[in-house]
Amino acid sequence: MTKVTFSSQGGKLLSVDILGHAGYAEEGEDIVCAAVSSAVMLTHVLLLDVQGIPIDTLVEDDGAHIRITLPQGGGLLRGQDALKALKLHFTELEQNYSDFLNVMEVYANAED
């Protein structure tokens, strides 16, 4: 199962963390994995290359782990639409493939 966790604070999305393989089908035929991968790649390109936001990206191929974190300040505000769209996409995908995709949001303490 792929687990997607969005972190937010004060009503703003801070990051998205994607972990694991969907397991819908064999490698190369897994449409859930393909949908997740494509959406993450598009979001990364939009934030970094189109909007020029200096995001922090972690990619670990062995564990199928990707994390995108928005910077504080103006980049955080400019990146909201992209992360909101990604969250909506994953939430819609989860409705049809809930055995293979879990999406959640965690809320950071504003005092941290």
Residue 109 reports pLDDT greater than 70: yes
Q: Which residues contact 86 (CB under 8 A, 6 or more apart)?
A: 16, 39, 40, 43
Amino acid at position 7, single letter: S
pLDDT single digits (tens) 45-102: 999 999 999 999 999 977 689 999 999 999 999 999 999 999 999 999 999 999 999 9
77 three-class SS:
helix
Domain extents in the chain = 2-107
pLDDT single digits (tens) 46-59: 999 999 999 999 99
Report pLDDT for 27: 85
Q: What is the largest CA-CA distance in the chain?
A: 45
CATH code, 2-107: 3.30.70.1490
Report pLDDT for 111: 57
